[in-house]
Structure 1
Amino acid sequence: MTGTLDMLVSGGPIIAVLLVLSLVSLTVIVVKAIQLWPVTSGKAARAAALETWKSGDRHGAQKALEAGKSPADRVTAYAMRAMTAGLKGAALEAELTRRGNEELASMNRMIRLLELIAMISPLLGLLGTVLGMIQSFQELALAEGAANASLLAGGIWQALLTTAAGLLVAIPAAVAASLLAARIENAAQNIESAVGQLMLADQNPNL
């Protein structure tokens, strides 16, 4: 524990900033993982609801999707309610687009923050390293050749610490942002597919 504290102190304010970014990153990753876990669920339930819709049981189809937890379930359930109420054409398409965009915006919330952390953490680490190297060579210059190699090596080690810390913060953030973005894209495709199949089934009940 003491060694970790010594490393944080040696790294200076850059390490402190990276530590805060790491805590923020881990918090966002956990929150988004919990939020996005169910967004690709319910494919089988939507397929069954669509078959129910095709059979003419519109109320049964809507009820089957009411308990759905994914964005595709919510948007499809709304589309069924709206179509049952007589809404159609451009007005229906505009409202479905709006709801789909809202779902997408909700899923994407805080993903940009992860991407930002992944981008700036290595830069902060590099900045800390450069500042540390400058300080080390300034001390060497002031010593006028009297400084020994161990003193210089110690200063360089402390400087390189910030680069390592920056990479340790950036890598998990970048990986998580990529995986979460892929899950969001999959959920968006599910919305488009479910609504498209519903519209097609309504126009061509025999398909």
Structure 2
Amino acid sequence: MTGTLDMLVSGGPIIAVLVVLSLISLTVIVVKIIQLWHVGGGRALRAAALEQWKGGDRHGAQKALEGGRSPADRVTAYAMRALAGGFKGAPLEAELTRRGNEELAQMNRLVRLLEIIAMISPLLGLLGTVLGMIQSFQELALAEGAANASTLAGGIWQALLTTAAGLLVAIPAAVAAGLFAARIETAAQNIESAVGELMLADQNPNI
């Protein structure tokens, strides 16, 4: 534990910034995992509700989706309520688009922050390395070639530490952002598919 603290202190302020970014990244990852856990589910529930809708049990279909936890469940449930109330045509399509965009905006929240952390962390690490190398060679120049090799090596090691730290922060953030984006894309496709099937079934009850 003491060795880790020594390394953090040796890395200077850039290491401190990377530690803060790491904590932010881990917090965001946990929050997004909890938020996006159910966004891709509910397909069986929506399929069963659609069959009820096709069979004429519109009330039962709406009730079936009331307990849905995914964005597609919520948007489809609203579409069913709107259709049952006689709200159709272009106004309904516009409202469904708005609700779908709101769901996507909610799911995408904080993902951009992870992408920014993944982008700037290696740059901060590289900056720390460059500054550390400059300092090490300045010390070598001031010593007029009489510097201790181990001292110089220690300075370079401390400088390279920031690059490693930057990569350690960036890699999990980049991986998480990519996985979250893929899950959000799946959820968006589920919304489009579920609403499309419902609108088609409403226009052609015999399908």
TM-score by length of 1: 1.00
Deviation (angstroms), 1:179 = 0.3
Could you list the runs of 5+ residues in structure 2 that have no partner in the other structure? none
- 1:139-162: CA deviations, max 9, x gaps? 000111110211110000000000
How far apart, CA to CA, are the structure 2 residues paired with 1:148 and 1:102? Answer: 62
The one-letter amino acid paired with 2:65 is L
- Structure-to-structure mapping, 1:109-128, within 5 angstroms: 109-128=109-128
The secondary structure found in structure 2 opposite 1:128 is helix
1:64 correspondence with 2:64: yes
> In structure 1, what is the equivalent of residue 47 of structure 2?
47
TM-score by length of 2: 1.00
The one-letter amino acid paired with 2:38 is P
Could you list the runs of 5+ residues in structure 1 that have no partner in the other structure? none
Runs of 4+ in 1 over 2 A off after TM superposition: none
The one-letter amino acid paired with 2:169 is V
> In structure 2, what is the equivalent of residue 100 of structure 1?
100
How far apart, CA to CA, are the structure 2 residues paired with 1:2 and 1:104? Answer: 45
How far apart, CA to CA, are the structure 2 residues paired with 1:28 and 1:159? Answer: 28
Provide the alpha-carbon RMSD of the alignment. Answer: 0.4
How far apart, CA to CA, are the structure 2 residues paired with 1:180 and 1:147? Answer: 50
- 1:142-190: CA deviations, max 9, x gaps? 1111102111100000000000000000000000000010000000000
> In structure 2, what is the equivalent of residue 25 of structure 1?
25
> In structure 2, what is the equivalent of residue 74 of structure 1?
74
How far apart, CA to CA, are the structure 1 residues paired with 2:37 and 2:2? Answer: 38
Size of the alignment, in residue pairs? 207
Deviation (angstroms), 1:50 = 0.2
The one-letter amino acid paired with 1:136 is S
> In structure 2, what is the equivalent of residue 87 of structure 1?
87
> In structure 1, what is the equivalent of residue 181 of structure 2?
181
The one-letter amino acid paired with 1:89 is G
The secondary structure found in structure 2 opposite 1:153 is helix
- Structure-to-structure mapping, 1:1-12, within 5 angstroms: 1-12=1-12
> In structure 1, what is the equivalent of residue 146 of structure 2?
146
Q: Name the % identity.
A: 87
How far apart, CA to CA, are the structure 1 residues paired with 2:200 and 2:135? Answer: 69
> In structure 1, what is the equivalent of residue 172 of structure 2?
172
The one-letter amino acid paired with 1:49 is A
How far apart, CA to CA, are the structure 2 residues paired with 1:6 and 1:143? Answer: 26
> In structure 2, what is the equivalent of residue 136 of structure 1?
136
- 1:4-62: CA deviations, max 9, x gaps? 11101100000000000000000000000000000011100100000000001100000
- 1:104-143: CA deviations, max 9, x gaps? 0000000000000000000000000000000000000011
The secondary structure found in structure 2 opposite 1:146 is coil
The one-letter amino acid paired with 1:51 is E
How far apart, CA to CA, are the structure 1 residues paired with 2:73 and 2:5? Answer: 49
How far apart, CA to CA, are the structure 1 residues paired with 2:206 and 2:82? Answer: 21
- 1:67-125: CA deviations, max 9, x gaps? 00000000000000000010000000000000000000000000000000000000000
The one-letter amino acid paired with 1:192 is E
The one-letter amino acid paired with 1:105 is A
